[in-house]
Amino acid sequence: MARITILAFAWAALLTASAAGAATQVQRSIPFDEGAGGSEKVRSECQIQTRVPEAVKEFAADVELVDGALNKNGRALELSIMEVHAPGGGPFSGPKWMAVYGKLYEKGKMVGSFRAKRLSTGAFRGTCSTLARCAQSIGEDIAKWLQAPDLDAELGDAR
C-alpha cells in the first residue's frame, strides 16, 4: 500500500512538473509588420528578425526556437516587428528604435499581449549594432513579462 501511495505522489509530481515546464515556442525568425519601416539594407543586414527571438531564449527560463508555424495548442509566443526607425549614418543620424508586438497563446487561447519598444542613441556605434542592443533589451523585457504575462502590456520604452 505504501508503494502505491509513493507511486501516486511521484506520478502527480511528474505530471505537475511537465505541465509547468512546457517550453514556450517562439519562431526562430519573426516577420516585419506591413509598414514597420526600416530600409531594405537594415532588414537584410541587421538580422533583427532573429536577434529578438535569440535574446528571448537567452533570458527566459524555458523557450524553444522553432522553424515554421507555432503550435498554439501548447504554449506559444507569436512575435512581429511592428516598427523600426534606423536611418543610416550610425551615431550621426540620431537615435534608433524598434518595437515588437507579441501575443502569448496557451492551449489555443490568447492569454497575454504586449508592445515592447527600445530606443538607443548608439553613441559611436553603427546602425546594426545599435539595433542589436535594442533587440537584446527587448528580449530581456519579454523574458521578464513571460514570468507574469498580462494583456496589453507596455514593455521597455513603450511605457
CATH of the domain at 117: 3.40.50
Do the beta carbons of residue 56 and residue 29 sit within 8 Å?
A: no
**pLDDT reported for residue 93:** 73
**pLDDT reported for residue 125:** 74
Overall average pLDDT of the 40-54 stretch: 95
Average pLDDT, the chain: 86
**51 pLDDT above the threshold of 90:** yes
The Cα 103–Cα 70 span in angstroms is 12
Answer whether 0.85 is exceeded by the pTM: no
Q: Which domain holds residue 57?
A: 22-156
Number of domains in the chain: 1
Asked whether residue 45 is assigned to any structural domain, the reply reads yes
**73 pLDDT above the threshold of 60:** yes
The Cα 143–Cα 117 span in angstroms is 14
Asked whether residue 52 is assigned to any structural domain, the reply reads yes
Q: How big is the CA angle at 36 (ends 67 and 61), to the nearest 5 degrees?
A: 40
Overall average pLDDT of the 94-103 stretch: 93
**pLDDT reported for residue 16:** 36
